[in-house]
C-alpha cells in the first residue's frame, strides 16, 4: 500500500509540474526535446507531447515497478531497501523533468520567446 501511495504522489507532483509549465510555455507551439552539446536544438515536438512525456513515462515505470513488487517480494535481507529505492526512482524522474524544463526555458529565452 505504501508503494502505491508513493507512486500516486510522484505521479501527481509530476503532472502538477507539467501543468505549471503548460502555463509558462503557452505561447510556444513546439518545445525542444533534444539538444546537441553546443546547445542547438536537434528536434522538437508539439508542446502537449513535450510536457506529458516524462509524467507519462514515470507513471508507466512506477506502475510497472509497483506491480512487480506486489507480485514478487524482495530478496531476503533487502526488505528495507524497497521504499527508499522506489522514492529514488521517483526523484530521478522529477529531476529529469526539472532539467528538461530548465533546458526548454533556456532555449526559449535564447530564441527571444
Q: Could you tell me which residues are beta bridge partners of residue 62?
A: none
| Mean pLDDT score across all residues of the chain | 92
State the burial class of residue 111 (Cβ atoms within 10 Å of its Cβ: 0-12, 13-18, 19+). exposed
Global model pTM greater than 0.85: yes
d(CA 8, CA 49): 21
Query: Where residue 76 falls among pLDDT bands split at 50, 70, 90?
Result: confident
Per-residue pLDDT reduced to its tens digit, 79-101: 888 899 999 999 999 999 999 99
| Residues 96, 51, 17, 86, Cα dihedral to 10° | -40
Residue 25: how many CB atoms within 10 A of its CB?
19
For 57-75, the pLDDT digits (tens) are: 999 999 999 888 888 877 8
Amino acid at each position: 500500500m505504501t508503494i502505491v501511495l508513493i507512486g500516486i504522489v510522484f505521479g501527481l507532483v509530476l503532472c502538477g509540474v507539467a501543468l505549471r509549465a503548460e502555463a509558462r510555455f503557452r505561447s510556444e507551439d513546439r518545445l525542444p526535446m533534444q539538444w546537441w552539446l553546443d546547445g542547438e536544438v536537434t528536434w522538437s515536438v508539439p508542446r502537449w507531447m513535450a510536457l506529458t512525456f516524462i509524467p507519462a513515462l514515470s507513471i508507466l515505470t512506477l506502475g510497472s515497478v509497483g506491480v512487480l513488487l506486489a507480485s514478487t517480494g524482495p530478496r531476503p535481507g533487502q526488505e528495507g531497501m524497497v521504499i527508499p529505492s522506489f522514492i529514488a526512482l521517483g526523484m530521478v524522474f522529477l529531476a529529469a523533468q526539472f532539467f528538461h524544463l530548465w533546458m526548454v526555458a533556456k532555449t526559449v529565452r535564447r530564441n527571444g520567446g
